[in-house]
Structure 1
């Protein structure tokens, strides 16, 4: 016993032995914040045995152990946190990373998949998990594929986006507007993602994503949608930087007719300022090709530039703000409803309150200004739209979630025939394979 005490005394600086636990924790937290993980590990190791139920202390102790290569101790700390706080997504991610470093590849894959099944997960975090998974599957000498299936029933109070006003004027003549059509619909969407690592850690990965979206109205079948999308991309990650170059091809039918085909190019960049703050930028160029002769003059080139700032508020919640500028330019024709500039700002907040329940809030404001003067309405069209939504997820079984959503949209236009509002309610299930 005396030898053990001497060894411990030699391992810990003498000036730390006289410190009170509160002082030790303060110094450990300061060292952790400064990324001096060797010091924070040494200090936290003096405290954790008497603070086994302290989530914050054990999580920071686990991170410190991970960063200095003591993966067994890190895993034990993350497992303690999981017992105390099962809904802590950040802890699950760190636990999965630790499994990988311990070459426990099957456990790492299962844990990453568990996090991926959460619909509240931000898209950029999802991409980072996919990159980690690509390394896991490379070690297992296989490619990784996961499938997400959504089945929803939906109610739309204004399927045809009918105007708010009963009449509109052209010159001195008054015309009646279309009546609102409310209807229910069944929605089905399937997304298949395959990812394969083609480099070393913090290197390249190939990602292929194919998705199908089907919408079938109960009565208004002229608004039925079939949508098919394929997006291959090349991902590259280096320390705090992530870059993605994506190509896209989309095909859409409306009712029983072919409606739209598009091709797109989208580079995306992400920078991790801190563990809880990230910036994301993407540019998108898209060519729109309408398939019916009546819509050919809608053919356009679409340009989009977006900046997003994401803050991880806690291991279970985040908030993200997005600012996007859009421009569309017609390829031919004289239609006045094609060329426009658009600016939109939206915010999303998500919180996984418990292992079973999560919620999401969404709000957006968007202004669209058209370039061309309308002689019909004696003005240039200007639309202002506002949207707000709330969603809730309930875990039913492993990898099976119940989703409830409600959304309200309103568009105010200086040409009142384009002003409308609608409410949308949906309920469905999400299954990840």
Structure 2
């Protein structure tokens, strides 16, 4: 588990203070590009045959090797310096930095402790090194605990609060002889203004250097101003365990429970579990794979009670992410098998910073469902495809507070007209994160 490179880069300046070296030289080294660092290391390593053992040369070689990412070579170079000059505090500090960047935080912590105990070090430098020791101690213990959360409020307009068809009448094949039938208000698209409130809190606590437990609680309330029948609310709780391997890959197991209300009445209870493996790549990127199970219990429609199994893979970078998912949902009672379906989907999201305080946010998702048995009323198996698009602007007002106008468009294509619909939503809101 490597220590943060940006944090450790500050040790160069601290070592410079101890050695009386000019700070600009270290600043220039910190700003050097990977190609420049590699060139400096190559030039110095070419002289090792004749100059190795000279403390000044070995110190410079160690710095160049650290900056170029050759941590093993840096450790050897600094050890040669200390073999000749055991009291060389700058070399010992840089040796500790090299060990930390190589992932050996135990040895790094011991080396920094030795530097802290050196009575010749000025107090400001000692305080900085003491801070590093404390950070290493936290990392050795697993990183400690952390709590974060958010609160968000938004107001907007929804063109189809009940995700229903625009049609006013429809012909049901089973009763085709009776002609088209008129749809009630609840089965036709309704528009309304709404306000939306959501909040969440999550916590993680280390139980060892590589093991953590985590949990979160998320709540949402959406109130339509004129149509209480389609007001929505949900509460979701998650708890789990994560293990970080020496490669920095992460495996996690979590359980989740959700209660969903529609029209101020209980609608569905869901609970299940997720197993996920995440492989970290360079540059802040990651690949993940997951297996999920959920059980759905419907308060007013037991024929829809179902078990849902899904597998997913994902790729994420600093500013975007892509996810694929597929699986099957099977009703637990044969009489409801027309609701059983196989599904697959892809989603992508991106956040592009325009200025330090403004970012453009966009997302897209497409999924399809193929149902197992024919609908009893429409006498055909249901086929659905859905596309969702989102565009937003995220504006930082003050640290932790964001203003975000957002627009979404959804289109569900279905071979059964009752489920074919389109929906627009526009809203503006504020989000606070801590």
Partner of 2:413: 412
Shift, 1:241, TM fit: 0.5
Match of 1:195 among 198, 204, 207: 204
Please name the residue that 1:184 is paired with: 193
Q: After superposing the two structures, state which structure 1 stretch, 163-172 or 150-159, moved more.
A: 163-172
Q: CA deviation at 1:376?
A: 2.4
Aligned counterpart in structure 1 of residue 233 of structure 2, from 226, 239, 242: 226
Distance 1:345 1:132 in 2: 36
Q: Give the direction of change, closer, same or farther, for the CA distance of 1:192–1:167 in structure 2 (3 Å limit).
A: same
- For residues 374 and 349 of structure 1, the distance between their equivalents in structure 2, rounded to whole angstroms, comes to 38
Q: CA deviation at 1:356?
A: 0.8
Q: Where do 5+ consecutive residues of structure 2 fail to align?
A: 1-19, 22-31, 43-61, 71-93, 102-127
List, as ranges, runs of 4+ consecutive aligned residues in structure 1 with deviation greater than 4 Å: 21-24, 28-31, 64-67, 98-101, 131-136
- Separation in 2 of the partners of 1:23 and 1:280? 28
Residue of structure 1 in register with 2:65 after alignment: 39
List per-residue Cα deviations over 1:113-132 (Å, max 9, x = no partner).
Answer: xxxxxxxxxxxxxxxxxx97
Q: Is the 8 A contact 1:24 1:43 kept in 2?
A: no
Answering whether residue 295 of structure 2 is matched by residue 265 of structure 1, we say no
Compute the TM-score of the two structures, normalised by the length of structure 1. Answer: 0.68
Match among 186, 203, 210 for residue 217 of structure 2: 210
Aligned with 1:265: secondary structure?
A: strand
Contact 1:276 1:311 in 2 (8 A): yes
Q: Counterpart in 2 of 1:249?
A: 257
Length, aligned pairs only: 328
Give per-residue Cα distances to partners, 1:76-127, cap 9 Å, x unaligned.
Answer: xxxxxxxxxxxxxxxxxxxxxx99972576xx9xxxxxxxxxxxxxxxxxxx
Structure 1 residue 333 displacement after superposition:
4.7
Match of 2:171 in 1: 169
In the TM superposition, 1:292-307 aligns within 5 A as: 292=300, 295-307=301-313
Residue 180 of structure 1 aligns to a residue whose secondary structure is coil
> In structure 2, which of residues 82, 98, 102 is the aligned counterpart of residue 68 of structure 1?
98
More helix by share: 2
Show CA shifts across 1:344-384 (max 9, x none). Answer: 11111112332211121111111110001124223111001
Q: Is the 8 A contact 1:323 1:345 kept in 2?
A: yes
Aligned pairs (5 A) from 1:127-146? 135-136=142-143, 138=144, 143-146=145-148
> Is residue 38–residue 68 contact of structure 1 (8 Å, CA) maintained in 2?
no
Counterparts of 1:223-372 in structure 2 under 5 Å? 223-238=230-245, 239-292=247-300, 295-312=301-318, 318-372=319-373
Q: Distance in 2 between matches of 1:242 and 1:255?
A: 40
Partner residue, 1:398: 399
